[in-house]
Amino acid sequence: MLVYADATARDAALPSPADGMVCVISGLNMLTIYDATASEWRNAPVFYADAASGATGSDVIAAGDGAAQNSSGDNVTALGFQTGASSSGNNIDAHGYQAAKSATGNYIAAVGSYAAHSCSGSYVSASGYFAAYQAKGSYIVASGYAAARQTYENNIIAHGQNSADKATGTYVLAVGDGAATKSDASRIVAIGAAAFDGWTDDAGNAVTFDDSDVSGNVITITNHGLEDITTYKSIGDYIWLKLTEGDGACGDLTSGEKYLFEITSDDTVTCQTDIGTVGSQTGHTLTPREMYHKSVAIGDNAEPDAANQVMIGGSTVTQVKTPGAYTPGTMADASAPNNSIYYSSDQSALCYKDSGGVTKTIDLSAIA
């Protein structure tokens, strides 16, 4: 954004302005736009003289103390205190206190205090206080307080307070207060307050370490295998892990708490919380959760307990009712899960497989 002390300085510097050229008259706190048809500069109010100061991109419109200040992207519209300040992305439209400040992604629409602040993903639409704040992924739609805040993967749709907040999975649809909060699963749907935000230990993939393996916030665990738990995790991804202390405390971390880690290599993970000073304790454990990918949870506190599952309702649900007919799935006996009713393609009959894996034909003759 071009800034001049007064109109005289502007006219001297721009003897032949192009139609639509924009500059600021700092002495008047005024945004001026050149109208070639009328051959004159037209004035519009700029609320603070430092709006767009230091901006190096083209087509920048800013109103507000520090709005778009020191931004470097093109096509930036910033309205509000420090909105879009120090941002480097192109095509940013930010409205609200520090919305899209320090954002590095492109094509960002941010409305609300801190919305998309420090967002590094592109194609992000954030509406609400802290919505998509520090989001790393792209293709994010976030609506509500802290919706999709500090998410780490792409393709997130979050509607509701804290929905998908700090989720590490990809392809997440979360609707409702706290839906899919801190979830690690990918390709999931969570509809309802606190749906899909539970934790079940994956004890089989737990790893151990000693204080001597800690350097700063980096923990060395040779061949930890955390990137191999699922096809949706790899080096550079993030994962929530529960700490269980060994024969004493591990620095400032609390036993039983879940902490966010980056899988930094085959042999190291980096805690996103300051570990603090460690001593000489041994036998600490980091346990991941069971990740129920490709599952759907509908209803308050609804929690799936397997991958590729649809869970309707939480523990308070006492009845599931439909006005239409219910058609059970057709499958081979070997494919049917335990504790399920299905139509057996092997027996051409409605069957029940019990908790021990024994298939039994359901006799409906007594009902006829």
Count structural domains, the chain: 2
Judge whether 287 and 240 are in contact, CB under 8 Å. Answer: no
Q: Is the pLDDT of residue 59 over 90?
A: no
Residue 233 in any domain: the answer is yes
- Domain ranges, residue 346: 326-368
pTM: 0.80
Q: Is the pLDDT of residue 300 over 80?
A: yes
Per-residue confidence at 316, pLDDT binned at 50, 70, 90? confident
Residue 1 in any domain: the answer is no
The mean of the pLDDT values for the chain is: 93
Domain boundary among 256, 287, 318: 287
Tokens at residue 55, please? 């901006």
Domain boundary among 223, 258, 287: 287
What integer is the mean pLDDT of 3-23?
91
Residue 238 in any domain: the answer is yes
Residue 51 in any domain: the answer is no
Rounded percentage of the chain residues whose pLDDT exceeds 70: 96
Which of 214 and 314 is assigned the larger pLDDT? 214
Q: What tens digit of pLDDT does each residue of 128-168 get?
A: 999 999 999 999 999 999 999 999 999 999 999 999 999 99
Residue 213 in any domain: the answer is yes
Residue of 195, 186, 148 whose CA lies nearest to 297: 195
Do 276 and 342 lie in one domain? The reply is: no
Residue 171 in any domain: the answer is no
Per-residue confidence at 368, pLDDT binned at 50, 70, 90? low
Q: What tens digit of pLDDT does each residue of 83-134 get?
A: 999 999 999 999 999 999 999 999 999 999 999 999 999 999 999 999 999 9
Distance CA 64, CA 100 (A): 14
Q: Is the pLDDT of residue 279 over 80?
A: yes
Do 220 and 267 lie in one domain? The reply is: yes
**Integer distance in angstroms from the first to the last C-alpha of the chain?**
82
For residue 192, what pLDDT is reported?
Answer: 96
Residue 217 in any domain: the answer is yes
Distance CA 164, CA 178 (A): 7
Distance CA 107, CA 121 (A): 9
For residue 50, what pLDDT is reported?
Answer: 67
Residue 192 in any domain: the answer is no
Domain boundary among 287, 309, 340: 287
